[in-house]
Chains A and B, each alone.
Chain A
Amino acid sequence: MMNRTKPIQGELLELKNIIESHALDYGLDFYPVVFEECDYDTVNILAAQGGFPSRYPHWKFGLDYDQLSKGYAYGVQKIYEMVINTDPCYAYLLKANNLVDQKTVMAHVYGHADFFKNNYWFSGTNRKMMDVMANNGTKIRRYMNRFGQDKVETFIDKVLSLENLLEHNLLFEKRQKVKKVEEEEFDEYDGQSEALKSFFRSKRRYEDEKKELVEAPSKDEFTEIETLRDSSLPSRDILGFLMEKAPLEDWESDIIGMLREEAYYFLPQRMTKIMNEGWASYWHSTIMTNNALNASEVIDFADHHAGVMAMSRQQINPYKIGIELFRDIEYRWDTGKFGKEYNECQDMHKKANWNTSANLGRKKIFEIRKTHNDITFIDEFLTEEFCMRQNIFTYKFNPRTNRHEVDSREFNEIKAKLLNQLTNSGNPVIEVTDSNFSNRGELLLKHIHYGVDLDYGQACETLKNISSIWKRPCVIDSIVEGAPSRILYDGKEVRTQKL
């Protein structure tokens, strides 16, 4: 980072040691946390680059940097903390913050660090991602020198347009594959980047799978496109599919491999936003109010904590919902408000005063942070009482008044809506279903429709991008305004047919 960040020292370092020992006392378990201090410009740079000091060259980082810098300059937003899921775990403190903020951020960071290390969905992430990102940057820079910046950047634009189309289950599958490679083939691939490794890995996997087919298709390039039914289909790992099956130059599939790896690295964070922020907030609040806060700092802490927890009518604040749910669970398991007997109790008064002094709360939330993601977290622990207490409502767009209006406070509707929003990390579920559609080598995608249409304009543009990678026409089946429809891009224009 070229001396833009420096390790904390003096008073901050002492504070760090104090907060860390509190965190350990509470049973938090984390990789070593390295705090570095930097100015706001550097924080903006890091934030624009997803927390990493070194990324590949792309204008989107410039865009985010531009917006963050303006946000800071106009005083509308300010980044307090940044922490990266690596081992050691890197966290950045903004130099200009006052001490009580720094303490709060540190306590918050230990919450995240614990979550990164222990939550099951993170178990497969590469903890040396700092190096991988830097290497990807170097490689892509090299490709740019060789093939021209515009050419490479245009290709990256197209790949980024598909980076949200991921197969969540691959988080675990990949982990197993990684292990296998590390044990058996470590030496063979040692010199290659992670992306290339994963590329080879999945090549190998496909080849393994192909062997299981009665007849493996010939390796001839032409028949490759006209392959029989592909055993890997349907697939939601769109980037993985293109990387292996699209007619690409080596550098192109390498770039897809790198960006795909980065996308999967960030995926667990998108799947656990509520839990992760809730957990970190729970711990900064617990450590600060019980241990680390001086009397003179109470007002500042309360002010900033309240700012982070602010509720909004437009969207759910993951910090707020997360911390409140963890507290609610802790309370319920402390008082024994769970299990068959409690659930089947009909006496509302008895239920409200239920207390078996079970004191299992802490234990329970530690368990949950290990095994759950946002969907299962909400599905299992969101209760009607909680929604009422939190004043949660759903809203929908009313075309007649041309505005969003409060729709319902019904528990089932709230829960359904929330789960719906969290499904697939808020992205539509898209599958490749046929790589030889119409027997012309065209690519058929399917949008698994759960009640919400795709943004039509964007869908058309995305279709063009995927088609330019596949180099044949591409088609997506979806539902447009209630009617099953097929959107086609033939290389010249986009058409929509009713099915």
Chain B
Amino acid sequence: MDHPIKRDHTRFRKIVKGKIRDSLKKYVSNGEMPIQKGSGTYKVPMPRIETPRFKFGSKQQGGMGQGDGEKGDPVEQEGQPEQGNEEAGNGEGNKELDVELSLDELASILGEELELPNIEPKGKKSLQSTTDRYNSIGQVGPDSLKHFKRSYKEALKRQVSTGTYDKDNPIIVPVRGDFRYRSANTTVEFENSAVVIYMMDVSGSMGDEQKEIVRTESFWINLWLKSQYKDIEIRYIIHDATAKEVDEETFFKTRESGGTLISSAYKLCREIIQEDYNPSEWNIYPFHFSDGDNWSTDDTKLCLDILKNDIIPSSNVFCYGQVESRYGSGQFYKDLNTGFGQENEEVILSKIKNKEAILDSIKDFLGKGK
């Protein structure tokens, strides 16, 4: 059996998660992102949780130390972090609490906060695996799995109902039928694969702030999808008048100045799907972010055609996020809206006004459980 402090620890983790959930909105809209660590966990910095006390403010208090230095010399030496208020003999500083959360924990915080439904993978299941979970009770089983409390309860119930229970001499004698055993449920898990294809307009009208929004949003979307699929691939396409596939870093850094032909990205996206991802084996998520400007109505028409005929039929859902910028007209959103309608199950459109709107937009995209 574990030491009781593990329960205190669980309790503490629960409080921390609650705090993260409470401040998720602020956290996300500040553009902050948890730092991914090697072991598959995420480090979320947050203020130390402390019990409020009547205590001295730090600035006025000052302190004392040992060492060299003239009046007016800084106490903190070069390269050393400021420690702030320290009582004599009390080494406890006002440090930040670094909380480590696993991907699932972090995703479930996001999921709970945004009330995201679990994703219903497309009907194509490539691999099945079964797991046994001992989470139910059966009437037969080996002695080693005997559930003492349940068995006792059954015996007690039987004795009370048959009137053989004597409250002055409350001895419970179980008979064979009273015994209960832990038993396993076999669950079938599907090993689903998914691919996310991010497309972004990098023409001159998309500024740094817009890209920051896309970056933050894609982080959380990836996080959620990663928690839903065992295996996930992410591809990046940037486009202005032409499109090319790039790595993640280039994706967020590139800034071009040309015009905008959205169809170029959609063509490339179609190509990638056709080459690498068989829709019957993969869950495919194309995301497109732009400020809504397109070169011509002809090109927009071409876009709609590609979406209708190729991309949408092979995807779980097609997502378009329109980041508001000073230069963008936002026309493309309207065009998609007239082309597919707000209620279309296979196309999700979302407008992202500013950083505060990121969470709502994530909810738009993932809230349908597609």
Binding site for B on A (CB under 8 A): 1-2, 4, 42, 45, 48-49, 54, 57-63, 65-67, 70, 153, 157, 160-162, 164-165, 273-274, 277, 311-318, 320, 390-397, 399, 401, 403-409, 414, 417-418, 421-422, 426-428, 430, 447, 451-459, 461-462, 465, 476
Contacts and interface: CB of A to CB of B under 8 A. Distances in A.
A62 B8 contact: yes
Contacts of A165: 54
For the complex of A and B, list the 7 residue pairs with the smallest distance between their C-beta atoms, beginning with the closest: A62-B12, A461-B52, A62-B8, A396-B62, A62-B9, A318-B89, A311-B66
Question: Which of B53, B60, B64, B71 has most chain A Cβ within 10 Å?
Answer: B64
B334 to A, nearest CB: 47
A165 to B, nearest CB: 7
B67 A63 contact: no
30 contacts: A57-B7, A63-B49, A65-B5, A66-B12, A161-B52, A273-B89, A274-B89, A312-B67, A313-B67, A315-B83, A315-B91, A316-B65, A317-B66, A320-B66, A391-B68, A393-B64, A403-B76, A404-B63, A404-B74, A405-B73, A406-B75, A409-B71, A417-B62, A417-B64, A452-B57, A456-B57, A458-B53, A461-B52, A462-B52, A462-B53
Given A313-B75, A404-B76, A405-B74, A426 B87 contact: yes
B143 interface: no
Nearest to B8: A62
Contacts of A428: 54-56
Given A404-B82, A406-B74, 7 more contacts: A57-B7, A314-B65, A314-B86, A315-B63, A392-B64, A394-B64, A458-B55
B54 A430 contact: yes
Contacts of A164: 53-55
Nearest to B85: A455
Contacts of B169: none
Nearest to B4: A57
Interface string B65-106: 111111111111100001100111111000001100000000
Contacts of B49: 63
Contacts of A406: 69-75
Contact of B64 (A45, A157, A395): A395
B52 to A, nearest CB: 3
B54 A459 contact: yes
Contacts of B69: 313, 393, 406
Given A66-B9, A66-B12, A452-B61, A274 B88 contact: yes
Nearest to A417: B64
Contact of A313 (B8, B15, B61, B76): B76
Main secondary structure of the interface of B (DSSP, over half): loop
A325 to B, nearest CB: 13
Contacts of A316: 64-66, 88-89
Contacts of B58: 397, 455
B164 to A, nearest CB: 29
Nearest to B2: A2
Given A60-B51, A62-B10, A453 B74 contact: no
Contact of B54 (A60, A418, A458): A458
B268 to A, nearest CB: 45
B47 to A, nearest CB: 11
B38 to A, nearest CB: 14
A240 B57 CA distance: 26
Contacts of A457: 52
B3 interface: yes
Contacts of B66: 311-313, 316-317, 320, 390-393
Which of A45, A59, A428, A458 has the most chain B CB atoms closer than 10 A to its own CB? A59
B67 A393 contact: yes
Contacts of A61: 5, 8
A394 B88 CA distance: 12
A426 B98 CA distance: 27
A404 B88 contact: no
Given A65-B8, A313-B67, A404-B75, A455 B82 contact: no
Contacts of A4: 3
A395 B53 contact: no
B3 A426 contact: no
A452 B75 contact: no
B244 interface: no
Contacts of B91: 315
Contacts of B76: 313-314, 403-404
Contacts of A54: 4
A45 B52 contact: no
A53 to B, nearest CB: 9
Contacts of A67: 97
Interface string B140-183: 00000000000000000000000000000000000000000000
Contacts of B51: 60, 157, 160-161
Contacts of B53: 161-162, 164, 427, 458, 462
Given A45-B3, A57-B4, A426-B87, A455 B63 contact: no
A453 B60 contact: yes
Interface in B184-227: none
B12 A453 contact: no
B83 A455 contact: no
A461 B60 CA distance: 20
B11 interface: yes
Contacts of A396: 62
A325 B61 CA distance: 24
Nearest to B73: A406
Nearest to A410: B71
A456 B52 CA distance: 10
A42 B6 CA distance: 11
Contacts of A403: 74-76, 82
Given A160-B51, A313-B76, A426-B90, A407 B62 contact: yes
B60 A452 contact: yes
Given A320-B66, A393-B67, A59 B61 contact: no
A123 B92 CA distance: 28
Nearest to B86: A315
Interface string B1-44: 10111011111110100000000000000000000000000000
A396 B73 CA distance: 11
A405 to B, nearest CB: 5
B59 interface: yes
A233 B171 CA distance: 56
Contacts of B67: 311-313, 391, 393
A397 B64 contact: no
* Candidate in B49, B66, B67 with the most chain A CB atoms within 10 angstroms: B66
Contacts of B56: 426, 428, 452-455
A230 B98 CA distance: 47
Contacts of A60: 8, 12, 51
A113 B13 CA distance: 36
